[in-house]
Each structure stands twice: as structure tokens, then as C-alpha cells.
Amino acid sequence: MQGNTKNTGISTNICVRKIAATIRVVRLVRGLAYGDLVPINARTNISALEREKIDITVDKLIELSTPLKLDPMALIAISTPLGNDETPEAALERARLELDRFRLEGG
């Protein structure tokens, strides 16, 4: 079953898959166990997220970024280009250019 595409045209299943993969890789690279990320009662949620069984909220992404020792924007930058030959640095540069355009528009 495909996820919602709303206004972005991006399947939410694909987004969750990318974020889940990023969290798993960062956790493993940093040698972190589930217990290092969340209280004992929430460990199964991290496991389920990494297996793409549940979605993640922005609040939870921000909460997880602290024990992962990675800024939430860096987590998103790593996740966004997965599977499309773009580097995290290129994703951040693209976002920076869009922010510059938004500022020029008065934002």
C-alpha cells in the first residue's frame, strides 16, 4: 500500500523508510543500543521504526537526534538523498538555496 503523497508528491512510506534507515545506520555507526536512545518502555518502538512498522513524528525525530548526537536537520539531510545519487551536502545546499529564495521573497 502506498503512503500519502499530499502536496509533496513523495510517498510517506518512502520517507519513513529513508529516515528509519538513517536512524539505524547512525545508531550502529555510533555503537548505540536501543536503550541508549530511549527509556526501556519505548525500545520496541525504536525497533519497530527501524523495521518500518511504525511512522515517526517530527517531535520524535527531534527527540532521537539528541542521543544520536546528530542535529535533526543533519538526520533529514542524510535521509533525503538516499536512493537518488545525491549527497547529504548537496541536499543541504539545495535547501540553503531555497531558504535564500524564500528570504528574497520577504520570508
Spatial separation of the C-alpha atoms in residues 35 and 39, rounded to whole Å: 6
* 49-81 per-position pLDDT tens digit: 888 788 888 888 898 899 999 999 999 999 888
Q: Nearest CA to 11 among 27, 92, 19?
A: 19
* 23-41 per-position pLDDT tens digit: 999 999 999 988 888 765 5
DSSP state of 40: G
Single-letter amino acid code for the residue at 43: R
- Residue 4 in this model has a pLDDT that exceeds 50: no
Q: How many CA atoms lie within 13 A of 99 on its CB side?
A: 6
What is the SS3 string spanning 59-84? HHHHHHHHHHCCCHHHHHHHHCCCCC
Mean residue pLDDT of the chain comes to: 82
Spatial separation of the C-alpha atoms in residues 92 and 61, rounded to whole Å: 18
Spatial separation of the C-alpha atoms in residues 36 and 39, rounded to whole Å: 8
pLDDT reported for residue 12: 55
pTM above 0.85, yes or no: no
